[in-house]
């Protein structure tokens, strides 16, 4: 199993009360690569506006991911996930092909349809028919990255002989985060990888999501092995507990390694860790768990 981590890029993730600087993001990513982890991931939001809390916002995801490419020259680079609502689909495909080439073929194009209405309202973006809009966007991005010329007269978008020039050096894999029937159908139709999150153990919900994905892949007539399955894990500090939230774990390295074993056993190829503490100690714990997991094979 490959093991990756999300990087700090928002307020208070490294220093209490202060915005994370790019230097801190780059340092965290470099430490993760140096410890042998397999991938780094960014979140894509314009702002968080939650009831009872002050507004917050991370740095812009694509800029951070692009800036990290030369900082970490080995690991895969991905997003959980780029919101299709924030960028024109043709532009998203163009950006993806360029970053994949710049990074030496290490990009995973993570995509999702969005969910946080306050950021749509704040930035004047339409919040209606999110999945319908995503369906058109996903088709455009997938076909352009395959090297096709795209004509599409959709309900939400129009493309006339759109093509990526220069053509993509390779077809970077598309990952879709999905759980509903319609989104799973689109994942099975267009994606190379799938993500479900957030979890701290293998439970009935996770198994049910796997079954739903398998059903969608089977209905699409695809080989089950052609879909890369990834799972997001939320990792609290040791002894911190999960605060009544069984969608997290506070396991030490040995327990985390056992979780990796179990996840791999049911078909997951990647564990992507969202550590609530963005510290060197957290990274060392994750890396130790990865080493123990590989030794169990």
Summarised one tens digit per residue, pLDDT across range 74-85 is 999 999 999 999
User: For residues 196 and 210, what is the distance between their CA atoms, to the nearest angstrom?
Assistant: 9
- pLDDT above 80 (res 268): yes
With a pLDDT cut of 70, the percent of the chain lying above it is: 99
Burial label, 54 (beta-carbon count in 10 A; 0-12, 13-18, 19+): exposed
- The widest CA-to-CA distance across the chain, in whole angstroms, is 57
User: For residues 138 and 90, what is the distance between their CA atoms, to the nearest angstrom?
Assistant: 10
Summarised one tens digit per residue, pLDDT across range 126-172 is 999 999 999 999 999 999 999 999 999 999 999 999 999 999 999 99
* Tokens (6 digits) for 186: 């689109």
Range of the domain at 282: 2-295
pLDDT, averaged across the chain: 96
Other C-beta atoms closer than 10 Å to the C-beta of 208 total 11
- pLDDT above 80 (res 1): yes
* Tokens (6 digits) for 138: 């996903």
Q: At what angle do helices 61-68 and 22-34 cross, to 10 degrees?
A: 50
Average pLDDT value for residue range 91-110? 98
Summarised one tens digit per residue, pLDDT across range 219-248 is 999 999 999 999 999 999 998 877 666 789
Place of tokens 């564990």: 271
Place of tokens 């689109």: 186
Q: Distances in Å between the alpha carbon of 146 and those of 154, 157, 224, 233, 294? A: 20, 19, 21, 31, 34
Predicted TM-score (pTM) of the model is: 0.96
Summarised one tens digit per residue, pLDDT across range 17-60 is 999 999 999 999 999 999 999 999 999 999 999 999 999 999 99
Place of tokens 């768990």: 289
Alpha helices in 199-252 (DSSP H): 204-219
Predicted pLDDT at 40: 98
Sequence-distant (≥ 6) Cβ neighbours of residue 27 within 8 angstroms: none
Q: Give the three-class secondary structure for 294.
A: helix
Domain count, the chain: 1
Predicted pLDDT at 103: 98
Q: Distances in Å between the alpha carbon of 44 and those of 59, 72, 82, 111, 157? A: 9, 20, 5, 10, 22
Q: Kindly report the CATH number assigned to the domain that includes residue 143.
A: 3.20.20.30
Predicted pLDDT at 243: 67
């Amino acid at each position: 199993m490959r093991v990756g981590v999300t990087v700090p890029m928002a307020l208070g993730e490294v220093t209490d009360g202060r915005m994370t600087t790019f230097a801190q993001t780059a340092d965290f990513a470099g430490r993760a690569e140096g410890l042998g982890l397999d991938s780094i991931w960014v979140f894509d939001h314009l702002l968080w506006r939650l009831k009872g809390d002050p507004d917050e916002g991370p740095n812009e995801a694509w800029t951070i991911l692009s800036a990290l490419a030369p900082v970490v020259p080995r690991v895969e680079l991905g997003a959980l996930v780029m919101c299709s609502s924030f960028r024109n689909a043709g532009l998203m495909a163009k950006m993806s092909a360029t970053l994949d080439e710049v990074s030496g073929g290490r990009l995973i194009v993570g995509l999702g349809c969005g969910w946080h209405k306050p950021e749509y309202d704040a930035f004047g973006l339409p919040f209606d028919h999110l999945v319908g809009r995503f369906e058109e966007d996903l088709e455009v991005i997938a076909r352009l990255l395959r090297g096709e010329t795209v004509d599409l007269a959709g309900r939400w978008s129009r493309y006339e002989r759109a093509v990526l020039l220069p053509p993509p050096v390779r077809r970077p894999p598309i990952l879709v985060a999905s759980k509903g029937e319609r989104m799973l159908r689109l994942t099975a139709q267009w994606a190379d990888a799938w993500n479900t999150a957030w979890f701290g153990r293998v439970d009935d919900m996770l198994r049910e999501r796997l079954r739903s994905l398998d059903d969608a892949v089977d209905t699409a007539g695809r080989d089950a092995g052609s879909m890369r399955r990834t799972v997001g894990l939320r990792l609290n500090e040791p002894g911190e507990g999960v605060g009544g939230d069984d969608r997290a774990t506070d396991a030490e390295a040995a327990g985390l390694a056992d979780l990796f074993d179990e996840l791999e056993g049911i078909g997951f190829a990647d564990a992507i860790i969202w550590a609530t503490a963005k510290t060197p100690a957290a990274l060392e714990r994750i890396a130790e768990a990865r080493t123990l997991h590989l030794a169990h094979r």
